[in-house]
Amino acid sequence: MSPMSRRQAPRRPRVGVVKFASCDGCQLTMLDLEDELLAITERFDIVEFAEATSNRSEGPYDVLLVEGSISTPEQAEEITRLRREATMLVTIGACATSGGIQALRNLADHDAFRNAVYPRPEWIESLPTSTPVSDHVAVDAELYGCPISGRQLLELLTALTVGRRPQLPDEAVCAECKRLGNPCILVAEGVACLGPVTRTGCGALCPSFGRGCYGCFGPKESANTPALAAWFASLGYDDGEIARLYAKFNVGAPAFHQIVEAKR
Amino acid sequence: MGLDANLAAAWLTHELEPHTRIALAELGRLVSLRPTEVLMREGDPSDALAIVLEGRIGLRLRVPERGQVTILTVEPGDVVGWSAIVPPYRATSTAVALTDSELAVFEGEKLREALAADDKLAAQLYPVLLQAVARRLEGTRLQLLDLFSQRWVEPW
Amino acid sequence: MVRVSAIEPETWFLPRRRLDELVQALRQGGRDVIGPTVRDGAIMLEPIETASALPSGWGVDNSPGVARLVRRDDERVFDQPPGPTSWKRWTFPPRVTQMAWNGAGESDGDRQPQSATAAPAPMAFLGARACEIAALAIQDRILAGGPVVDPDYVARRRDNLIVAVECAVAGGTCFCTSMGTGPELGGGHDLGLSELDDGFVVRVGSDAGRRIVDGLGLMAATDDQQQTAEDSVAGVRAAMGEPLPMEGVPERLVAAAESPRWAEIAERCLHCTNCTLVCPTCFCTSVSQRSDLDGGSATTERSWESCFTLDFARVAGGNFRTRPEDRYRQWLTHKFGTWWTQFGSSGCVGCGRCIAWCPVGIDVRVETQAVAATAPAPSIARPIVVPASFPAPAPPVTVVGKPARELAWAQALVVDSRRETPDVVTLTLNTDDALLLAGRPGQFVMAALPAVAAPPISVSRFHPDGLQLTIRAAGAATAQICALERGATISLRGPLGRGWPVELAEGRDVMIITGGIGLAPLRPLIDELLARRDRIARIHLAYGARTPADRLYKDELDRLAASGVIDVAQTVDRAGPEWLGRVGVVTQVIDRVLCSCDRTIAFVCGPERMMQATVDVLHERGIPNERIYVTLERHMDCGVGLCGHCQLGPYFVCKDGPVFSLAELGPMFEIEGI
């Protein structure tokens, strides 16, 4: 694709930001880029971003950032419509890329929840599973995380304007911990940390504060979650504890899901 | 007689024993083709097996949205129309001369009868033809891998 | 045994209560002292200001996957094995800015890359163990000892003061005895300390060390103190034993490329990169782009990389090493095997960090022996040369730091752009850089524009005042290069690599077999062969392309074919009815061609699968490996053998290649993911 830089494209790229089943935190990350926000609004024409502007647009979009998982029949239809309107569709966040924490219901009886919680369950239209956007439409790029990293969002936007491949490495959190000089809490203290099987992007945030990685950026490529689960077991964690480690924000991702299924 | 000398030079048949080659030569005749002349059409009954002696024969398949696509050219020494001796004896592609060409052509039914009757001929000819078809298959597989195409289509 | 230095035969004694005086003496002249200190449950190497920061009374219990701090009831400060950091954190930092662009972000302005110069404060390393000094020497050889040096490393390493410590405890994962790097100190230090309960036996290893000892005014060490020091390190050697017998191991590792053990390890390995990042000798790096939204303030950053990441061997058209078992094989075989061929020593110093800090406790001592045990008889092209003196330490290298030509960028001006096919462009560039103009057929350049990655591109023709690059728009960076118009500038680094052996063609028949964009690096070879046509017998060129429209240099090829000077056979994978030429794989252009194969030399370039099929046919024609040359493509970030990405067995494709004879490649040409 050609760069969307000022001198190559006479008009600014039309950008939309939409949400499905999510908490809004990933959209907020763009607004948190305080130093760069002005430059972003100058380079991009933000035509749809309900959280930030009253400008509305049903499309078309040069770039559409999609937050949230597909959780209702209505959302499944809407994402298909939006795919047609978008030249480039980018999913942002754990909900959009793996189904989010609400994908815990994929392992359980969704009807039972509905009946237990709502006085008129028949009025609640929801799908039995919460699924990532990529299960429904083709996706051009993904930003992972819960929430996504502002730095990575900025890199994606810069890559679009400058015309380079976005540098979003698919490597373990461990690589970042080691570059930062964090001693490994799993090795040094036996604290369960999902870092070795989780994609970096957060800057090794939790281990930098002495907490085990929660896996919120989802499994790295070829994540060998069974081998790490076996190690946790040898450290004394029981099956339930191990399952709960993986049953979080990216429980819908196959590499994490398989451990929860096996251990619960 | 002339055909025998041609068969002695063609790489497909040059290792046949002399009397087998002579027997084969007697079954065939020399044919000249001008550019665009068709030897056989895709789907038609295949009634001739030929060995290209000079020139170039293009093998084409019809792809409705794209017209005729040339998927292979047969160069001197190689066989075209092996389908004439393999059931269901139907041409698998259209064979057309791309340049002035000379071929040794063997009528299908005559060749099939000769192979059924003459064990020695069959014992020498089938391996040679099998090798040619195997070579073609090898080439087709490499063509299928589409090695010269851009393998990844990325948005970036 | 306490080996006294050649400079001073005496040893001194520093009482424990005076240790801080040593620290302050090291800090003289604005020097940063880096030493061990307890932080976050481990012993880390950090800047320290007083001796009280040292890990007094702390030990570490190391076993595979486990490294637990242990509190002791004494005041000894150096009784621990190496922690997860090594001195490379300070000589070869995880992230450095390599280069800044002047004029980036402006349209067609004078965009020039400028190397960032590191000007760090001088450093003293307090507490370097024998294995770590060996590791520094190994990195010195790689990053500062070759024809091309890393200027940032040289700047940081040039003025180090090393205060070494001779280990008094053997860590649970240590195996320096097997690797010939310790535990005894052998040299490479300015001062050497042996810790006793009440102080340190000190010996001098350099003039700088002597000055510090003089400044401190120390008493001589007594015979008892010296004996205690000797016994201490002898005890370490006895406790460690012989954990990894290395006899014949390098060769067997290389020969065991198809061992089933690799897949078994891959079931346990998380390819998390921890082993490579704690390793004191691993040197692989990646270059990334930093810029603002406009591509202005563009810089490049060099950061620690690992051969365990998926993208390590990625190129625009694919990835040469994806399977986890192949990634582990690369690391272990390199560290214990092919490092010998590359650098004349083992890559491993036996510090045991990778064993302790592997999150799942994979133990290289076990795995190396297990793989070596499954090795068949070695059948590699180039044997591993392990000196008979191994395991004795390799000699140290003096860090020189001469400016490296291959790291300097030259400017080139686009004077013509010609579209060869829908996705391939040939740029004609003018430059006055003498080295670029003196390039040889088969060499390549790194081509850089601001804020995008700099890919390696083969030179497709040399001119008296410039060169041509033929580029396929396979990704973002190459697409931008293809889009350059006349008058634009581009920065080039090179010429790099080893080119085609043109002189070997004289007096021989030449077969050139190529396909797709593979014709580009062969075109300068053809130019040279034509320039000396009368000294070469027959020349056959077989060129395959996807379709007639995808052929490069169509007019030139047709003219060349018509001239009859060389025999040109073109073929395509498929065509429409207007094409009257050959259709079929390029290998079948040559498999029935008669040749005097005892005097034929072949040059092949194309996708590796096509080259493999071509080599099979050449073998059938009786052409031996010594007379078949191929050119390889690999991921390159530096092009000069420093970033590590392009390795293929013992070779760096960027500097030992990209042209190789099949005899040099041996079985590696056919092994997946090597």
Domain boundaries, chain C: 11-94+101-239, 249-373, 405-496, 502-631
| Chain pair B-C, CB pairs under 8 angstroms | 86
The interface residues of chain C toward chain A in range 567-596, judged by CB-CB distance below 8 A, are none
Residues 6 or more apart from A86 whose CB is under 8 A from it? A16, A59, A60, A61, A62, A63, A64
Q: Quote the radius of gyration of chain B (alpha carbons, Å).
A: 17
- Residues C182 and C167: beta-carbon distance below 8 Å: yes
Q: Distance between CA atoms of A134 and A112, rounded to whole angstroms?
A: 27
Residue of C273, C305, C311, C452 to mutate, testing the A interface (most A Cβ within 10 Å of its Cβ): C273
Contacts of C584 in chain B (CB under 8 A): 72-73, 139, 143
> What is the DSSP code (8-state) at residue C371?
H
- Enter the tokens of residue A101: 């924490």
Alpha-carbon torsion angle C653, C659, C663, C667, nearest 10? 40
> What is the DSSP code (8-state) at residue C586?
T
Asked whether residue B46 carries a pLDDT value surpassing 50, the answer given is: yes
At how many degrees (to 10) do helices A254-263 and A239-246 cross?
160
Q: Is C311 on the interface with A (CB under 8 A)?
A: yes
Contacts of C85 in chain A (CB under 8 A): 181
- Where, residue-wise, is CATH 3.40.50.700 in chain A? 2-162
Residues B73, C577: C-beta atoms closer than 8 Å? no
Mean pLDDT, chain B, rounded, equals 91
Residues C580, B151: C-beta atoms closer than 8 Å? no
Q: Is C306 on the interface with A (CB under 8 A)?
A: yes
| Strand pairing category for C410-421 and C466-472 | unpaired
Burial C212-234 (b: 16+ CB within 10 A, else e): bbeeeebeebeeebbebbbebbe
Q: Is A88 on the interface with B (CB under 8 A)?
A: yes
Residues A188, C67: C-beta atoms closer than 8 Å? yes
Q: Residue C579 to residues B69, B97, B147, C508, C583: CA-CA distances in angstroms? A: 10, 12, 20, 33, 9
Q: Distance between CA atoms of A93 and B140, rounded to whole angstroms?
A: 45
- Enter the tokens of residue A229: 């689960």
Q: Nearest Cβ partner of B156 from C318, C475, C544? A: C475
Q: Distance between CA atoms of C554 and C563, rounded to whole angstroms?
A: 14
DSSP string, C34-76: EEEEEETTEEEEEEESSGGGS-TTEEEEEETTEEEEEE-SS--
Q: Find, among B40, B52, B48, the residue nearest to B13 by Cα.
A: B52
| Strand pairing category for B67-74 and B57-63 | antiparallel
Residues of chain C with pLDDT under 50: 1-7, 381
- Tell me which chain A residue has its CA closest to the CA of residue C84: A183
Q: Distance between CA atoms of A133 and A142, rounded to whole angstroms?
A: 10
> What is the DSSP code (8-state) at residue B97?
E
Q: Find, among C54, C192, C73, the residue nearest to C130 by Cα.
A: C192
Chains with ≥3 CB–CB distances under 8 Å to B: A, C
- State percent of chain B over pLDDT 90: 80
Q: Nearest Cβ partner of B145 from C318, C576, C609? A: C609
C87: left (phi over 0), alpha (psi -120 to 50) or beta: alpha
The CATH number corresponding to B3-142 among 2.60.120.10, 3.40.50.300, 2.60.40.10, 1.10.3720.10 equals 2.60.120.10
- Residues C665 and C380: beta-carbon distance below 8 Å: no
- Enter the tokens of residue B69: 């696509």
Could you give the maximum distance between any two Cα atoms of chain A, in Å? Answer: 61
For residue C309, give the 3-state DSSP assignment: coil
Give CA C546 to chain center in angstroms. Answer: 35
- Residues C477 and C454: beta-carbon distance below 8 Å: yes
- Residues C274 and C359: beta-carbon distance below 8 Å: yes
Residue with tokens 């004349």: C344
Residue of C39, C40, C62 to mutate, testing the A interface (most A Cβ within 10 Å of its Cβ): C40
List C280's β-bridge partners, or say none.
none
Q: Which H or E run includes C211? A: helix C207-216
- Enter the tokens of residue A162: 């400058």
List C469's β-bridge partners, or say none.
C427, C459
- Residues A47 and A57: beta-carbon distance below 8 Å: yes
Q: Is C299 on the interface with A (CB under 8 A)?
A: no
Residues B71, C317: C-beta atoms closer than 8 Å? no
First and final C-alpha spacing in chain A = 45
* pLDDT of res. C669: 86
Residues of chain A with pLDDT under 50: 1-2, 5-7
> What is the pTM assigned to this prediction?
0.93
Residues A88, B156: C-beta atoms closer than 8 Å? no
Q: Is A195 on the interface with C (CB under 8 A)?
A: yes
For residue B114, give the 3-state DSSP assignment: helix
Alpha-carbon torsion angle C261, C267, C271, C272, nearest 10? -140
Burial C368-407 (b: 16+ CB within 10 A, else e): bbebbeebeeeebbeebebeeebbebbebbebeeeebebb
Residues A164, B156: C-beta atoms closer than 8 Å? yes
- Tell me which chain C residue has its CA closest to the CA of residue B142: C585
- Residues C56 and C17: beta-carbon distance below 8 Å: no
The nearest CA of chain B is from the CA of C434 a distance in Å of 35
- Residues C149 and C111: beta-carbon distance below 8 Å: no
CATH topology of domain C405-496: Elongation Factor Tu (Ef-tu); domain 3 (2.40.30)
Residue of B152, B154, B156 to mutate, testing the A interface (most A Cβ within 10 Å of its Cβ): B156
User: What ipTM did this prediction achieve?
Assistant: 0.94
* Architecture of the domain defined by C502-631: 3-Layer(aba) Sandwich (3.40)
CATH topology of domain A2-162: Rossmann fold (3.40.50)
Q: Find, among C260, C292, C633, C571, the residue nearest to C451 by Cα.
A: C292
The nearest CA of chain A is from the CA of C561 a distance in Å of 37
Q: Is C121 on the interface with B (CB under 8 A)?
A: no
Q: Which H or E run includes A48? A: strand A45-49
Contacts of A150 in chain C (CB under 8 A): none
Q: Nearest Cβ partner of C359 from A43, A154, A186? A: A186
| Strand pairing category for C32-39 and C42-48 | antiparallel
**Is C502-631 in the same CATH topology as C405-496?**
no
